[in-house]
Structure 1
């Protein structure tokens, strides 16, 4: 699988796969879903390497720098709170403490309340010397989202994850619980912040359920992880790009054409927010036509990576 780095609006994610007959495409149309009993959370990396982004410079001489984390986190938390049924988003610091395994709760904020929230780093714990992802994942799954029918956790990081295999093992257990009906919908979005992120690790998490054949009791594929690079997010709605599915109808009709103008799929009974279709092996793009307009997406940037 290869994911486009720049999807044309209104697409959120566009993923391209090789198939027996050519290419297979899975694309989402960006929109904000509305679900009852939904909850959201935002986990912010508080490891030592993040200090500069919070405006904290310790050595050799304390220096005042802009806090670039705070405005981004305020905007993201405000957006996530609109999806939550109680109108609030749970905020935590993660990767705290000497071994990077501590969690520090910041609070639950509405879109209005978060305007005055302060994000200057952990207070109860020291800045983390490692980046342990399992603790915030468990915090969301076992505490903040325990009784939620639909939950989304966005996790911001700036570096390499030190416990990737532990996270994958735990998430596979969560996926099995979702498949058996013991747990309801959970989506985690890992957001890479800065130039030191390991995108290969992020992709490994994103793809961990490929080939697992796990499905929920209502037939939905289990896929807990998504990943984004902050530098490539064009609009904040992209956080929800993997939340929507084939049952979410966004327009009355539509059709997909390959770059030669041939119709490869038609949606006469409603255009869903998640599109799945095939293209010829030689295709370098596709066009979505819908009442009142059309949009063309080039996919040539990923063809060499398939």
Structure 2
């Protein structure tokens, strides 16, 4: 289980309770990866349930409509996200689209490519050419972006050819189909037919199904697929918007055990029992086990320490 709340400098903490009572931990330290040649895509939910977030009240008529108006909370966030992602894009731009459009939520409306400057003058108010969706289907935008970036240079699972962010406020209706297609895509990556792409799902609002997001995130946990170099292909990551403190969190899985961030350190549980020593350097990706009964761990390093509670994952 991915913990919903982590303390800095951790980007993500996953807790796996074992049958013997031990607790396996996989945690990342938040860093900004050195990305090269990456294409960037941002897909915004265009379903009817998102209207209020785009500032659309649905009321027609002068002062009454103005009084009933709601602020557009999507636009400033999307502009900030595009400005941020464009810094890592190979062409300095981010592809923007709306998904979950049309009555059955199966259509995608392309908006265009934007850089940090051009997005500031672009209204982000939901789909214009297609009607707002009445369903939320993730497979169409997934296929669209994979097709768009299929010829991008392949550089490995920690250097994705493309990085795609999907924003939604509801339940994904075609989760089974999305998982099936993701397996097919991972197999194509393993065979060298398509480049690796990282897919990041952001949930907004109170109606998001967090369990679905976890299921998608962990879909390769028990049945890993590896690329030609033996690296496990982990396509999906996710985060609830309410738990995001920094935009850099979208990159929290683009780290490895080869990336050293601190000269030395060690992991202790709440009883000060040493569970892992990092005498040759603390990596950005930490993997260790805690003994039965542990409810937190502490990363000690020269000059400080940080403690992460894991009780939410037990």
Q: TM-score, normalised by structure 2?
A: 0.91
Aligned pair 1:73/2:78, yes or no? yes
Structure 1 residues 288 and 88: alpha-carbon distance in aligned structure 2, compared to 1, 3 A threshold: same
Question: What secondary structure does 1:86 align onto?
Answer: strand
In the TM superposition, what is the alpha-carbon distance from 1:10 to its structure 2 partner? 0.5
Aligned pair 1:12/2:11, yes or no? yes
- For structure 1, list consecutive stretches of 5 or more residues without a partner in the other structure: none
Give the corresponding residue for 2:157. none
In the TM superposition, what is the alpha-carbon distance from 1:252 to its structure 2 partner? 2.4
Give runs of ≥4 in structure 1 deviating > 6 Å. Answer: none
Question: What secondary structure does 1:90 align onto?
Answer: strand
Give the corresponding residue for 1:161. 172
Identify which of 277, 295, 300 aligns with 2:306.
Answer: 295
In the TM superposition, what is the alpha-carbon distance from 1:21 to its structure 2 partner? 6.0
Verify the 8 A CA contact 2:150 2:194 in the aligned structure 1.
no
- For structure 2, list consecutive stretches of 5 or more residues without a partner in the other structure: 155-159
Verify the 8 A CA contact 1:7 1:14 in the aligned structure 2.
yes
In the TM superposition, what is the alpha-carbon distance from 1:76 to its structure 2 partner? 1.3
Q: Work out the CA distance in 1 between the residues paired with 2:23 and 2:237.
A: 21
Structure 1 residues 148 and 13: alpha-carbon distance in aligned structure 2, compared to 1, 3 A threshold: same
Aligned pair 1:113/2:118, yes or no? yes
Verify the 8 A CA contact 1:189 1:227 in the aligned structure 2.
yes
Question: What secondary structure does 1:4 align onto?
Answer: coil
Q: Work out the CA distance in 2 between the residues paired with 1:70 and 1:104.
A: 16
Give the corresponding residue for 1:23. 23
Verify the 8 A CA contact 1:39 1:145 in the aligned structure 2.
no
In the TM superposition, what is the alpha-carbon distance from 1:192 to its structure 2 partner? 0.7
Verify the 8 A CA contact 1:256 1:286 in the aligned structure 2.
yes
Q: Work out the CA distance in 2 between the residues paired with 1:34 and 1:53.
A: 33
Q: What are the Cα deviations for residues 74-120 of structure 1, in whole angstroms up to 9, with x where unaligned?
A: 11111111222222211111111222121111222222332222101
Q: Work out the CA distance in 2 between the residues paired with 1:119 and 1:248.
A: 37
Aligned pair 1:254/2:273, yes or no? no
User: CA-atom RMSD, angstroms?
Assistant: 1.7
Q: What are the Cα deviations for residues 222-262 of structure 1, in whole angstroms up to 9, with x where unaligned?
A: 21111111111121111111121212222222221222222
Q: For 1:1-306, list aligned pairs within 5 A.
A: 2-19=1-18, 20=20, 22-59=22-59, 62=65, 63-144=68-149, 146-149=151-154, 150=160, 151-303=162-314
Verify the 8 A CA contact 1:39 1:148 in the aligned structure 2.
no
Structure 1 residues 65 and 21: alpha-carbon distance in aligned structure 2, compared to 1, 3 A threshold: closer
Q: What are the Cα deviations for residues 123-179 of structure 1, in whole angstroms up to 9, with x where unaligned?
A: 111111211100111111111454143121110001111211111111110111222
In the TM superposition, what is the alpha-carbon distance from 1:36 to its structure 2 partner? 1.8
Structure 1 residues 86 and 290: alpha-carbon distance in aligned structure 2, compared to 1, 3 A threshold: farther
Q: Work out the CA distance in 1 between the residues paired with 2:286 and 2:52.
A: 41
Q: What are the Cα deviations for residues 184-227 of structure 1, in whole angstroms up to 9, with x where unaligned?
A: 32111111111111112212211211211311122221211111
Q: Work out the CA distance in 2 between the residues paired with 1:290 and 1:110.
A: 39
Verify the 8 A CA contact 2:163 2:199 in the aligned structure 1.
yes
